[in-house]
Amino acid sequence: MNKLLSVSETASVQLDPVTTEVVGSALMTIVEEMGKAIVRAAYSANIKERQDCSTVIFDTEGRTLAQAERIPVHLGSLLGISEWVMKNVDLSTVEPGDVFIGNDAHTGGGTHLNDIVFLEPVFFEERLVAWVTNLAHHSDFVDRGHDHIYQEGLRIPPIRLYRKGVLQQDIMDLVLLNCQVPHERINDFRAQMAANRLGVQRYQALCSKYGEHVVRAAGAEVLDYAERKTRTGIATIPDGVYFNECRFDTPSYDQLLDLKVKVEVKGDEITIDLRDNPAQVRAGINMVYTATLATVYFAVKSLVDPGIPANSGFHRPIHVIADEGSVFNAVSPAAVYTRTDIGQRLVDMIFAALSAAIPERICAACTGGGLMTFSGMHPRTGRFYVYNEMCGGSMGGRAAQDGLDGVQVHTTNTANIPIEALEFEHPVMVERYELVQDSGGPGKWRGGMTMRRQIRVLDHTATVNAGGTNSIIPPWGLFGAHDGRTTNVELGEGVAALKNRNGRVGPGRTLAMVASSGGGYGNPKERDRDLVRRDLKEERISLQAARDIYGLDV
């Protein structure tokens, strides 16, 4: 049986600021190194190229000590498995080398089924002192329905995949049997295991160098420091109650949804009230509560102080209220596959609500979700393949800067798959990958230019899932600016129309995704003439736009 360090033992440690800073930085270094280990060891393009993974260290109470700067929404899955294990597992039975695996949004393992989490305890001198955790998005479970979660893939509650360092082969066999690309999964699992083992070694080395009591006490102090910084930042926002409402569209659901948010700032605390929003729907856009928490934490951190350490101390002054059974607090059996679609919009709504209070810190609405997936039998290898891409769009204009061109935004902070890697691994060709002229929302500070990515299918027929939010309602501009562009899926000659995002693309046929673009900020007539001329010269805008929208006399 393992022994736990008592709170009183940790509290009795006297720390100096230098030691606290050194240990706190070391914890961040550990999670960043774990993330690099997954990327370097991963097999699938989605992880090794798009870097769709995250890493966290939790203390023995399940509090986040350090989170790598990777994918903000992943925190929801990591929090979920930590909380579940703390509540449902007798920690005295946990042994060195035990590893929990999970992905189920409704039993604490994740926020959607593609994100598979590995949670491993850290022991030092026979005591459980921390948990190292990582998550990777596995490009699997494709060509499925999304009326409810039973259609979306294999549900894994938090269970031990390893016991005392020994793989439970029957569990692994069960998982792989339910995967469509098992040779990728097994190798990506090995990368995740390598990252956790590295994290265990690094944390143990930290305890050996400074002492277990010092490391844990420094961790507690880092949480308190993050809380103080967060409260100081929130206090700079004028007290008040702020509102925003918007309509939300997605091709995976036939109706528009009316969303609303109320933001209350009172002293050094902030409450995001999401009550009275639509009930969960028969589509994959629902968010479980931990996914909503992760989204809100990102939004508040961006506005208050991006330099705040991403840990549980930062979370303390932030409160989130959402009705159970709603799209922001979905319960079983709600489908959750594309939960970031509505999450991206929630960030924009929080920003817009607070634009009346802190206009200098916010940006206009940004690109929405733009997921594109090709799958089928690879004609060269004879194996099933999955190509998954979250197509970037652009950022909304800001108070003193244009929005960024060709980027992903908010909670989906992944890279793209380089063309060379994509074409080497999958039977497709990238024919166009370009910024789209005139796509940024016009304003005194314009929204960024979105991108077009056109794919040609080679030597087989692919099943395609493509589409994105903002296909009907564009990302909004602020303070007299114009809206951005809507999402558009461009079908090549001979490609039948998609139904609820889904369709087939035959050999030699093309499909292109053009994600929505960010709205502008401020009246476009007030834009600096030199900036308009620069945009015109660099072909960001057309001559007609320069004349008609910006009023340039040319």
In this structure, the number of other CB atoms found within 10 A of the CB of residue 306 comes to 10
- CB–CB of 181/385 below 8 Å? yes
Structure confidence at residue 10 (pLDDT): 56
Structure confidence at residue 332 (pLDDT): 95
Rounded CA separation 468/251 (Å): 7
The candidate with the shortest Cα–Cα distance to 290, out of 135, 486, 469, 142, is 135
- Token look-up 């102080």 returns 305
Q: Which amino acid does the sequence have at 81? A: I
C-alpha Rg value of the chain to the nearest Å: 24
Instruction: Tell me the pLDDT of the chain (554 aa) as tens digits.
Output: 455 555 555 556 778 889 999 999 999 999 999 999 999 999 999 999 999 899 999 999 999 999 887 777 777 778 888 889 999 999 999 999 999 999 999 998 788 899 999 999 999 999 999 999 999 999 999 988 899 999 999 999 999 999 999 999 999 999 999 999 999 999 999 999 999 999 999 999 999 999 999 999 999 999 999 999 999 999 999 999 999 999 999 988 889 999 999 999 999 999 999 999 999 999 999 999 999 999 999 999 999 999 898 889 999 999 999 999 999 999 999 999 988 899 999 999 999 999 999 999 999 999 987 889 999 999 999 999 999 888 889 999 999 999 999 998 988 878 888 999 999 999 999 999 999 999 999 999 999 999 999 999 999 999 999 988 999 999 999 999 999 999 999 999 999 999 888 899 999 999 999 999 999 999 999 999 999 999 999 999 999 999 999 988 86
Structure confidence at residue 38 (pLDDT): 95
Rounded CA separation 521/500 (Å): 33
Structure confidence at residue 144 (pLDDT): 87
- Token look-up 């709504």 returns 349
Give the pairing type, strands 3-4 and 269-273. Answer: unpaired
Does the pTM surpass 0.85? The reply is yes
- CB–CB of 322/274 below 8 Å? yes
Phi, psi angles (nearest 5°) of residue 512: -125, 140
Q: Which two tokens stand for residue 48?
A: 């090794």
Structure confidence at residue 6 (pLDDT): 52
In this structure, the number of other CB atoms found within 10 A of the CB of residue 28 comes to 19
- CB–CB of 474/366 below 8 Å? no
Structure confidence at residue 79 (pLDDT): 83
Please give the DSSP secondary-structure letter assigned to residue 487: P
- CB–CB of 351/362 below 8 Å? yes
Q: Which two tokens stand for residue 31?
A: 């999670």
Rounded CA separation 100/193 (Å): 11
Structure confidence at residue 110 (pLDDT): 81
- CB–CB of 251/501 below 8 Å? yes
